[in-house]
Structure 1
């Protein structure tokens, strides 16, 4: 029989409160490394011992919906006032901003850092906990060697120097999500030092930074994560200890960033690098990566003045939050100093959609944490042979892959970066799979750039339109594509999308028909109908293009009454102003049978007609 906490038992006996998670019994036992250890599924910490109020949400609201709802609320409260664009909000006259970042990323391993409990996000609360994770008396830390491999891959990807000997320290502070009262980390002697990340203009850095910014990485250290606290109605807190002891790397930068946008781009690029070497388990939005940002300001009229007092903004979990929080904290510090005040070193928090940071506590220092070498964990000794083996196996950096996507596949740099960022790299693998299948369907004579650029546009933009239309739905998982790390997707299978795009590339169907078929694929409406071509046959959707005579007749009809536009073409001397020309092509598409019109052929006929009417030589 499962043991029950005294607090829960007293609520049941005295107040008649029955737990919503299966009364007093568990459906199944915990996972533990010691079968005899059993306890309650949920750990409660509460200021007021009161039950949750009725009507509490039964499941968490997706982060995407939170962001969307918050944006709507801010728009309503803004009274229609236009916000200052972030591109215009990177600097403040007379002030210099300095930013340093600490990134905590969960390593992609099957075990925790100092216990054999499994690391997992998806399990029931407190289902993956070993005795050491709960600081059970007598339990000891046992370093799991497998956690070192992804940590080394991460450090090598940043060009760090690997230390042959490193050591673990105890960082002391009390909070209810940390049962031992200290965190095991590498403060004094980390396993890696002296790396860097180069940010390019195409990454989206602030234009004030020019073409590139080099951000120095001071050190990369191993450490264990804390538990997860979940606030409940009535002042009650639930603690899930599944996350306790999860293996993390902490990446600590030098204060090399001067603009909020550049700092946000740095976090985004670090996430891309970690994904490229398969070091990090997941992205920011699901809790696998969190950023703490250190912000300070100083006046620019004295270049010899020391850096200002820094504050730390904790646990930022989206790229947007990094930029927004830095802007808000910078403006708060400047306002305080201009009013004659001083900046206190402190830790501050940030809420999604907020316009200002909030004070959490005074800033702890080395003395406050009482760092000391951990007496229970021996030094970590890393063999040079292991380092060299892993160095050779580290994948090409993201910049190299972007260059290939742009140069070989014909994508824009912006689209290439977006593909690599989505689904933790799964979307770009999906792109490669679709392009490979397209090449098989179209044959060797087809131009790679022509069909790969088409695939990139549809995979990034057309699939994005499908999901955005359903993103506001209350249905769990609505508005999402489930793309695996190896580039497979159940909603829009690689084979079906490649077949659809091959027909579009060969101009056997129109773009309008292709978009309708894509929507049907996404909704599952084509299942059981024999595939894309069979559906096109059944509904007569094949492209039947107009004849040259029909094109000419339609072009004559469109040009009737367009004397003013024709006069502009005469004055341009046959250069065909593109805006006016596309206006007339669009008119042909609207007045004719759009499903039978090839825009390129329509444009060619229209040019010939304009040249004929204006007495111009055709280009």
Structure 2
């Protein structure tokens, strides 16, 4: 079947042995052998499956409420200061300011790897477990405890780096990044600063990666990735006002990767699209536990502005090898795609305000709160000298064999760009780029699997009806995303409400012109509400089968409606409001028995009587 290429790619990982998280948590975890230089000549690719889709409706509601509140405040401000507002407050002049100032952004994405054990101890990784339920002695810096690198944590990290087009380093090592804070009991974080395991990657953004379907640069945008490094996570701090801070060490030493882009982003929308696509890629290759909505991925952004056409010597600031940049600030721990875009816009405007008033931008770490209008200072910006990086003397280097890299590269699932190319191909599925992107993003790929099942069923069932096969992919996409998606608007997705073969059966009757579109929607609603009867039986019991009218009957019905509604006819014919033909179609359907009037035939008859151009084929 034509549906098999994507399915085969998505299931590639499932053919290899894996460790189930729930099984591991119930089992007695034995620490692995002490850390040894790792030569990947023979290995077992251990990984855990991602958890069930999360219900992020409360978070989405929070976003919507914040946006509404922000718009309301902006309207109130504009109304109260319309006569005396400064030029910088008007959108028109804001655009003029951006012609003078250039924004530069670099992104650091921190993602929790999908592993069963922690990075340097045999304790299980956990999400939502009781506080401090999975803690080894090393996790709390118990005196005399030693780190033991868990080999299997490297596998999802390598998959992620390969999917980001990185060059895998044969040798990598770990370093200590010193800072003193309550969430880091050892007084330092173990990371890869000098010798990361992956370098020199890139991510390409296409028009379909943007919600509008249009790239700001009107074409592909390539963003370089300086390096991808492994590091340990810190403890979770729970604040209890006014002065109590509780620490949960379950998260300590959870394996992370940090993806560091080059400062090659000059648009907040591009930055948001970059983080969104990284999240999609990491989920596709089963490298991460969860996305931003569940706290499994966080982003820091480095923001600077400079006057356009300014020579490098005029500013003197350098970031990741790029000279001539303005002084950068870092915004920490952004937890949503929208927060990335909004925080960059706010910080860009703040820096421009400072520079245009003759001030100086300070290098500092700043924070962002959902719904805010500006970033806030957290602390001065630390540099290399502050962190006192040094090689960790207790962890031996990690050596990755070429055979392991080749195997992982050859077994990567189909990535989003390749999947979208296949889904939009008119010879295969014929979806729009927007619908293809939506299918990939929804429900961790479950909606895409469902769609592929529907298409596969229809192509088999309609093999004797070749004139409809070319429409199967697009029609199935509309029903999965629009009609069925509307029923799930306020509920979590589940393919058990309406199975893929049940939806495909409804669509089959529709494409064979045995039922009308309205009847098909009614059938879908009945199955969604739990009607256990087969689709065919529901049609038979309800006498829903289409009973085609003759051309003469269509004409008589349409002529009567035209004579009874001369004002609407005048709007259609004289004022060219052709969309009102649909009103007549609706009247013909509502005035007839269910399953007797076919909308397409009714509209064709009406257009002939009104002497209008024929319908455009879809």
TM-score (norm 2): 0.79
Query: Structure 1 residue 31: deviation in Å?
Result: 9.4
Q: Over aligned residues, Cα RMSD in angstroms?
A: 3.2
* Match 1:117 to one of 105, 123, 126: 123
Aligned 1:390-409 pairs, distance under 5 A: 390-407=408-425, 408-409=428-429
Instruction: Point out which structure has higher relative CO (alpha carbons under 8 A, 6+ apart).
Output: 2
* Match 1:410 to one of 430, 438, 448: 430
* Match 2:348 to one of 282, 307, 330: 330
**8 Å Cα contact 1:31/1:129 also seen in 2:** no
**8 Å Cα contact 2:105/2:265 also seen in 1:** yes
Structure 1 unaligned segments of length 5 or more: list them.
Answer: 1-28, 36-58, 471-478, 483-488, 570-576
Q: 1:550 is matched with which residue?
A: 553
**8 Å Cα contact 2:216/2:270 also seen in 1:** no
CA distance, structure 2, for counterparts of residue 530 and residue 334 of structure 1: 65
Match of 1:209, SS? coil
Query: Structure 1 residue 336: deviation in Å?
Result: 1.4
For residues 216-235 of structure 1, the C-alpha deviation after alignment (integer angstroms, 9 at most, x for no partner) is 11001111111222334544
Structure 2 unaligned segments of length 5 or more: list them.
Answer: 1-24, 32-54, 79-88, 315-323
* Match 2:274 to one of 236, 241, 266: 266
Aligned 1:395-474 pairs, distance under 5 A: 395-407=413-425, 408-443=428-463, 445-446=465-466, 447-468=468-489, 470=490
**8 Å Cα contact 1:206/1:261 also seen in 2:** no
For residues 456-508 of structure 1, the C-alpha deviation after alignment (integer angstroms, 9 at most, x for no partner) is 1222233432333x3xxxxxxxx3214xxxxxx23333233222333333343
1:129 aligns with 2:135: yes
CA distance, structure 2, for counterparts of residue 140 and residue 388 of structure 1: 32
1:64 aligns with 2:76: no
Q: 1:194 is matched with which residue?
A: 200
Query: Structure 1 residue 359: deviation in Å?
Result: 1.5
1:590 aligns with 2:598: no
Structure 1 residues 492 and 310, CA gap change in structure 2 (3 angstroms): farther
Query: Structure 1 residue 592: deviation in Å?
Result: 4.0
Query: Structure 1 residue 199: deviation in Å?
Result: 1.1
Query: Structure 1 residue 566: deviation in Å?
Result: 6.5
**8 Å Cα contact 2:604/2:615 also seen in 1:** no
For residues 311-337 of structure 1, the C-alpha deviation after alignment (integer angstroms, 9 at most, x for no partner) is 111111211111111111111111111
CA distance, structure 2, for counterparts of residue 80 and residue 453 of structure 1: 45
Q: 1:174 is matched with which residue?
A: 180
CA distance, structure 2, for counterparts of residue 607 and residue 281 of structure 1: 56
Structure 1 residues 115 and 73, CA gap change in structure 2 (3 angstroms): same
Q: 2:22 is matched with which residue?
A: none
Structure 1 residues 582 and 111, CA gap change in structure 2 (3 angstroms): same
Query: Structure 1 residue 34: deviation in Å?
Result: 8.6
**8 Å Cα contact 1:165/1:382 also seen in 2:** yes
Q: 1:609 is matched with which residue?
A: 609
CA distance, structure 1, for counterparts of residue 523 and residue 570 of structure 2: 40
**8 Å Cα contact 1:206/1:262 also seen in 2:** no
Q: 1:48 is matched with which residue?
A: none
CA distance, structure 1, for counterparts of residue 540 and residue 559 of structure 2: 33
* Match 1:353 to one of 367, 371, 380: 371
CA distance, structure 2, for counterparts of residue 325 and residue 155 of structure 1: 27
Q: Mean alpha-carbon deviation: is it higher for 559-568 or for 196-205?
A: 559-568
Match of 2:228, SS? strand
When the two structures are aligned, how many residues end up with a matched partner?
Answer: 537
Query: Structure 1 residue 150: deviation in Å?
Result: 1.3
Q: 2:40 is matched with which residue?
A: none
CA distance, structure 2, for counterparts of residue 142 and residue 349 of structure 1: 34
For residues 148-171 of structure 1, the C-alpha deviation after alignment (integer angstroms, 9 at most, x for no partner) is 111111111122111111110011
Q: Mean alpha-carbon deviation: is it higher for 555-564 or for 421-430?
A: 555-564
Match of 1:123, SS? coil
Structure 1 residues 521 and 161, CA gap change in structure 2 (3 angstroms): same
1:275 aligns with 2:278: no
Structure 1 residues 456 and 253, CA gap change in structure 2 (3 angstroms): same
Query: Structure 1 residue 404: deviation in Å?
Result: 0.2
Q: 1:22 is matched with which residue?
A: none
CA distance, structure 2, for counterparts of residue 424 and residue 618 of structure 1: 39
* Match 1:229 to one of 237, 242, 249: 237
Q: 2:160 is matched with which residue?
A: 154
CA distance, structure 2, for counterparts of residue 480 and residue 197 of structure 1: 31
**8 Å Cα contact 1:32/1:129 also seen in 2:** no
Aligned 1:24-43 pairs, distance under 5 A: none
CA distance, structure 2, for counterparts of residue 463 and residue 416 of structure 1: 16
**8 Å Cα contact 2:113/2:153 also seen in 1:** yes
